[in-house]
Structure 1
Amino acid sequence: MSLSPAFLDELRARTHLSALIGKTTKLTKAGREFRGCCPFHNEKTPSFYVNDEKGFYHCFGCSAHGDAIRWMTDQRGLPFIDAVKELAQAAGLAMPAQDRHAAKKAERAKGLVEACEDAADWFVQQLGGIAGAEARAVFAKRGVKPETAKAFGLGFAPDSRGKLRADLKEYGDQLLVEAGLLIQVDNKEPYDRFRGRLMIPIRDQRGRTIAFGGRIIGDGEPKYLNSPETPLFDKGRTLFNLDRASPASRKAGRVLVVEGYMDVIALAQAGFGEAVAPLGTALTEAQLERLWRLSDVPILCFDGDAAGQKAAIRAAHRALPLLQPGKSLSFVTLPDGQDPDDLVRGKGAGAFEALLAQAQPLVDRLWAHEHAAEPLATPEQRAGFRQRMQELAQTIAHPGVQAEYKADFRARFDALREAARPARREWTPRAPGTRWKPPLAPATEQALAVKAAGIDRVLAKAVLAGLIRHPAEIARHMEVLGSLKLADGALGRLFEAVVDLAVEDRALDTERLVTILAKSGFDQIAGDLLRADQLRCSFTERDADPAMARADLDEAIAILVAGPEVNAALAEATAAMQAHYSDEAFERQVSLVREKQALEARLANLVQANEDARAFKAEGN
């Protein structure tokens, strides 16, 4: 089909733009124009104007601008040709004539749509009938309210090989097979594809039913059965609930991507109407492009299990070549073993909203995933890590975005290298029993306050428990440990006692160390540390792999030492920014924030590695 400039101009002239936009956006008369709050970004003071005479809209807040066709593609998310067709129909304007092949294809597609729409109505009727009692009970058990089921057009396919075929016989077997509603093997009699299943219609951006997803009732395989690809249904280009999520995402200012139908339905019922889901496949480039039409940074909320997290990192890698300035992804990690449906039904919408507020940027997800992929104890391992990150950045097609990723990774590598390097401090051996004296305080009072607050006490307790379990490691870290200031109190006194005992006797084992500590009055606190479960790392476990415990203890001590230094430097940088802004001070502050985030990610990886090792051992491996 060829759309001439004259036809498009006539279409724009016949479209009353303020009436079109006014269907979804409240407008008020402002002189010769109309004004309202912009539907493309959240605002309280109206800066969005519609001019019927000139036929365009413009927002002075976010610079959104366009005509009636642009409104349909940007606000409604329709493809260009569908936008033109819908506007032409509303304006009473006949579309240009199609060639014979295109006309035949369009007529065929019309019959497929009608068959799918009638099938959807039939499934709804079956759900409400006597045979649908079990299906209704399943929906009720899943917490799906009747009004939600109606809004999504949920239905039921009886466990029959021919009921749908009989009721839709006027379409003929050939068309029903082409629509994916019947299955035909060789020249045998066709039969119903969906049997004994909860039925979920899949709609296109215009809200037309084009396919179905069916969930088995009870036991059976496959658990979910989708329609095959048809002239209407391209699985890799379709997102479930896109028709309803498009306007909701404009209002919410975001779009959520979850794994399954029931997640979308549960979130919509909980007030999150802006959720969509791919259809049993990893996110494709086409689906990502559609998501970016709705939001600059879609939020991926995949399941908290290993499969869900693998799907998330696959989506991250697939998105990299497509990144543009301002266009990215963010990620929400759900509790292990839970999906959005479980979370909102168990803990409510507030718990899910709290997770969304902590969404992780794409760059952070990539870094954390690769950082946890293997140990970084040797220069070779760190070089391998650096190469992997550089190769990921190299896949970004946009030169500006690629340069920013490379710069970000370089800053993180610098922080990683500094954290892994032993602190260079003056160390003077002291006689056993003498107390350690702290080094000079930082230069500023604000940094001094941060440093004096001490290190991470939870991590300090874990490290101290690790040193008691592995006293031979104390000598390897004597320079760092001897110059590390812990918080005041029993924990600090125990720390100094452990270090002093190791200085006196380099051959200490755990049993002897605990015995000596008990005689010195530290029996209760030492015992509590060894029994504590507040930060479980390999070096705090009694039966952990020695090599893993040694490497993890090295990493934990490096994090323990670096933390106060980064916090103190960040306090100084913040004070400098408050006193006098400069680009250099700002960059220094940003760099330090990233260093702090990197330390937090490294600590999280330590804990997760131990959990993975324990799970692996529990499975009998």
Structure 2
Amino acid sequence: MSYAIDQVKARINLSSVVSKKVALKRKTTGEYLGLCPFHPEKSPSFNVSDNKGFYHCFGCGAHGDVFSYLMETEYLKFPEALEKLAQEAGIELPKHTEVQKKQQDIRDILIEIHEAAANYYTQKLFSPEGKQALNYLKKRGLKNEIIAEYRLGFTPHNHSELHDILKQKFNETQIAASKVLLKGDYGVYNPLKNRVIFPIFNKSGKTVAFGGRLIEKGEPKYLNSPETLIFKKSETLYGLNFAKKEALKTKQIIVVEGYMDVIALANNEIYNSVAPLGTSISSEHIKSLWKIVDIPTLCLDADNAGRTATSRLASEILPFIKADKTLNFASLTGGKDPDEVIVNKGREFFKSIINHPTPLSELLFTSLLKMHTVKTPENVTTLRKNLELLAKKIIDKDLQKSYSSYFKSKVYEILSNKKKPNINKEFLNSKHNIQSILSEQENNILTILATVINHPEIISDDEIYYELHDIEIRSNFLDKIREYILNLKGYINYENEPCRKTLRQTLEEQFNFKLNDNMFDTFAKSEASSEEAKEGIIRIFKLNNLIIIQEQIKTTSQLLMERQDEETYNKLSYLKQIEEILKTELNILN
């Protein structure tokens, strides 16, 4: 085998393989330079040497030969890379051992069976039997090309038809090993009958299993094929064969909850998403994604299950993170899943969520803070100890110290903010004004929007941007104005007065939204400094959040009187803790 490896290296120029994806410029004979495919850069630092047989990037340190290049860029194992390059070089590799050959033959047959079944399911989707399934996909807004690209299909009630087709080419032992059909008391049957079918592909794009969704009422709504020699749920991510191509361009992969989320995003020309299959996203999944991108973005559904999975993974991944390998988290607003967000808010709104994620460190801190009050020294000590325990999970000692320092600074920041004098004491300490704001949520939103319009430069501040992005706005009219302002971030320099006037003029013309000094308080007035406006608007955000929490407390209290159960009691206790934190930060006395 070592002879074959040497032969491949002798016959294949590294530059010919690299130049298929990277534009190389010749420096001298056998030496080339280009933009690194392993990290974003504007000036080329990726050196390719045919003379020495290796590549090296002086920007990120990536280094290797033709095999490692193919393994890293196409996510192949060494035997796969060797086989591919040997074919290109016209070299016959040594034969596998009898056992290896037999195992590979079985795998090949299982893939053939799954490919045949996938073709059958696709045919059935466009037959009279599949009309209901096709209507379901059309109602979800899926384009014909997406249905075709992802090879969606339908399983009818009839089990024998597929069995008869497979028997024409495969024997019963092979069909049984594929688990496409299972054997029951009354013969073979399809475990995915009467479902929309989602073929599950391996990294090479071959069908290795199926997922099915019921189109009628029943449980389980989603079901995957049993595991086989070619399919392990814990090792497979749906859509990875599509996402890895896009990830090379965007340096980003989005982890969503299920295959319908992946397809819905592809339907909106977002091709870099993947999903786990019947299991929760795990650290092993993330480690496999780190071979493709440095910082995957987790974007699970905005429900209790999604939040629980997010918190669990955030803690579970800590021992494995490094300075250049970590995880981001995108918080969905405007819908319970990516598809609903895009339907309600549009593709660009969803992309803005993905492009402004929460870092792992911030998510961990925020999640733990929600579980603690910071009213007493004992509370603060407990919080600090729990944060330190989180930091100690990180194996990389330098990164562990950085996390520990970050958590300490965040606690200090919270305690310091509690002691800071308020900007406008006369306004903030006035019980009448506070009660007025807390009772008028729409006026509160107007205040926020007016402040940003008069101080558009503060939208570049991430904290302001995220708060404005996440705040609940019930008025469709005001929500459209919020969305318009958010989409301006990064496109215009607002530091001069003409730009401010242009923004106001545009809003007035486009939305018939007239601004006047009576619509907003001291913080919104254009005479205030940007820093005053920023601190003022943060306070108003918190006041608005307090309104929402207090409404939830009222509703939950009424529910507790009816149910008198532990779950509702725990929810009420949690809401009251959040209320106390907000009141403390706002310096509002009971």
Deviates further, 340-349 or 320-329: 340-349
Q: Which amino acid aligns with 2:216?
A: G
- Of 15, 18, 34, which aligns to 1:18? 15
Q: Given the superposition, is the C-alpha separation of residues 218 and 139 from structure 1 closer, same or farther in structure 2, using an over 3 Å criterion?
A: same
Contact 2:294/2:324 (<8 A) preserved: yes
Q: Which amino acid aligns with 1:200?
A: F
- Of 5, 8, 13, which aligns to 2:5? 8
Q: Write the mapping of 1:346-385 to structure 2, written as runs, cut at 5 A.
A: 346-385=344-383
Contact 1:57/1:65 (<8 A) preserved: yes
Q: Given the superposition, is the C-alpha separation of residues 345 and 73 from structure 1 closer, same or farther in structure 2, using an over 3 Å criterion?
A: farther
- Of 284, 287, 297, which aligns to 1:286? 284
Aligned-residue sequence identity (percent) comes to 34
Partner of 2:176: 177
SS for the counterpart of 1:200 is strand
- Of 211, 221, 238, which aligns to 2:209? 211
Q: Given the superposition, is the C-alpha separation of residues 12 and 308 from structure 1 closer, same or farther in structure 2, using an over 3 Å criterion?
A: same
Q: Given the superposition, is the C-alpha separation of residues 351 and 165 from structure 1 closer, same or farther in structure 2, using an over 3 Å criterion?
A: same
Partner of 1:532: 440
Q: Over residues 253-295 of structure 1, what are the superposed CA-to-partner deviations in whole Å (9 max), with x where a residue is unaligned? A: 1111111111111212322211111112212232111111111
Please give the alpha-carbon distance, in whole angstroms, between the structure 2 residues aligned to 1:608 and 1:189. 57
- Of 95, 101, 104, which aligns to 1:103? 101
Q: Over residues 325-381 of structure 1, what are the superposed CA-to-partner deviations in whole Å (9 max), with x where a residue is unaligned? A: 211101110016521111223332211111122200000000101100233323333
Partner of 2:247: 249
State the 1:153 CA deviation. 1.4
Q: Over residues 578-600 of structure 1, what are the superposed CA-to-partner deviations in whole Å (9 max), with x where a residue is unaligned? A: xxxxxxxxxxxxxxxxx999999
Contact 1:163/1:192 (<8 A) preserved: no
State the 1:300 CA deviation. 0.7
Please give the alpha-carbon distance, in whole angstroms, between the structure 1 residues aligned to 2:40 and 2:391. 32
- Of 147, 156, 159, which aligns to 1:158? 156
SS for the counterpart of 2:74 is coil
Q: Write the mapping of 1:30-45 to structure 2, written as runs, cut at 5 A.
A: 31-32=28-29, 33-45=31-43
SS for the counterpart of 1:95 is coil
Q: Given the superposition, is the C-alpha separation of residues 6 and 213 from structure 1 closer, same or farther in structure 2, using an over 3 Å criterion?
A: same
Contact 1:154/1:199 (<8 A) preserved: yes
Please give the alpha-carbon distance, in whole angstroms, between the structure 1 residues aligned to 2:92 and 2:539. 63
SS for the counterpart of 1:225 is strand
Q: Which amino acid aligns with 2:305?
A: A
Q: Which amino acid aligns with 1:240?
A: Y
Q: Given the superposition, is the C-alpha separation of residues 333 and 87 from structure 1 closer, same or farther in structure 2, using an over 3 Å criterion?
A: same
Q: How many residues align?
A: 469
Q: Write the mapping of 1:446-457 to structure 2, written as runs, cut at 5 A.
A: 454=423
Please give the alpha-carbon distance, in whole angstroms, between the structure 2 residues aligned to 1:606 and 1:79. 53
Q: Given the superposition, is the C-alpha separation of residues 611 and 167 from structure 1 closer, same or farther in structure 2, using an over 3 Å criterion?
A: farther
Partner of 2:265: 267
Q: Given the superposition, is the C-alpha separation of residues 284 and 596 from structure 1 closer, same or farther in structure 2, using an over 3 Å criterion?
A: farther
Q: Which amino acid aligns with 1:616?
A: T
* Greater Cα radius of gyration, structure 1 or 2: 1
Please give the alpha-carbon distance, in whole angstroms, between the structure 2 residues aligned to 1:607 and 1:168. 62
Q: Over residues 466-499 of structure 1, what are the superposed CA-to-partner deviations in whole Å (9 max), with x where a residue is unaligned? A: xxxxxxxxxxxxxxxxxxx24xxxx47xx55x5x
Q: Over residues 130-188 of structure 1, what are the superposed CA-to-partner deviations in whole Å (9 max), with x where a residue is unaligned? A: 32222221111111101111111111111223222221123233322322211224x65
SS for the counterpart of 1:250 is helix
Q: Over residues 233-267 of structure 1, what are the superposed CA-to-partner deviations in whole Å (9 max), with x where a residue is unaligned? A: 11111111111111210101111111111111121
Q: Which amino acid aligns with 2:159?
A: R
Please give the alpha-carbon distance, in whole angstroms, between the structure 2 residues aligned to 1:69 and 1:193. 41
Q: Given the superposition, is the C-alpha separation of residues 392 and 528 from structure 1 closer, same or farther in structure 2, using an over 3 Å criterion?
A: closer
Contact 1:202/1:213 (<8 A) preserved: yes
Partner of 2:556: 616
Partner of 1:327: 325
TM-score by length of 1: 0.69
The unaligned stretches of length 5 or more in structure 2 are: 445-534, 564-590
Q: Which amino acid aligns with 1:219?
A: K
Q: Given the superposition, is the C-alpha separation of residues 386 and 157 from structure 1 closer, same or farther in structure 2, using an over 3 Å criterion?
A: same
Contact 1:300/1:330 (<8 A) preserved: yes
Contact 1:386/1:413 (<8 A) preserved: yes
Please give the alpha-carbon distance, in whole angstroms, between the structure 2 residues aligned to 1:618 and 1:233. 49
Q: Given the superposition, is the C-alpha separation of residues 600 and 123 from structure 1 closer, same or farther in structure 2, using an over 3 Å criterion?
A: farther
Please give the alpha-carbon distance, in whole angstroms, between the structure 2 residues aligned to 1:55 and 1:137. 55
Q: Which amino acid aligns with 1:365?
A: L
Please give the alpha-carbon distance, in whole angstroms, between the structure 1 residues aligned to 2:36 and 2:321. 26
- Of 165, 168, 172, which aligns to 1:167? 165
Q: Write the mapping of 1:114-193 to structure 2, written as runs, cut at 5 A.
A: 114-169=112-167, 170-185=169-184, 188-193=186-191
Please give the alpha-carbon distance, in whole angstroms, between the structure 2 residues aligned to 1:94 and 1:311. 48
The unaligned stretches of length 5 or more in structure 1 are: 426-450, 456-484, 499-521, 537-594
Partner of 1:559: none
Please give the alpha-carbon distance, in whole angstroms, between the structure 2 residues aligned to 1:16 and 1:50. 10
Q: Given the superposition, is the C-alpha separation of residues 240 and 403 from structure 1 closer, same or farther in structure 2, using an over 3 Å criterion?
A: same
Q: Over residues 200-220 of structure 1, what are the superposed CA-to-partner deviations in whole Å (9 max), with x where a residue is unaligned? A: 111111211111111111222
Q: Write the mapping of 1:458-469 to structure 2, written as runs, cut at 5 A.
A: none
Contact 2:438/2:544 (<8 A) preserved: no
Does the alignment pair 1:340 with 2:343?
no
State the 1:14 CA deviation. 2.9
Please give the alpha-carbon distance, in whole angstroms, between the structure 2 residues aligned to 1:600 and 1:165. 65
Contact 1:256/1:274 (<8 A) preserved: yes
Contact 2:441/2:547 (<8 A) preserved: no
State the 1:615 CA deviation. 5.4
- Of 61, 79, 94, which aligns to 1:63? 61
SS for the counterpart of 1:184 is strand
Q: Write the mapping of 1:495-534 to structure 2, written as runs, cut at 5 A.
A: 495=429, 528-529=436-437, 531-533=439-441
Q: Given the superposition, is the C-alpha separation of residues 160 and 417 from structure 1 closer, same or farther in structure 2, using an over 3 Å criterion?
A: same
State the 1:5 CA deviation. 3.7
Contact 1:372/1:605 (<8 A) preserved: no
Q: Which amino acid aligns with 1:17?
A: L
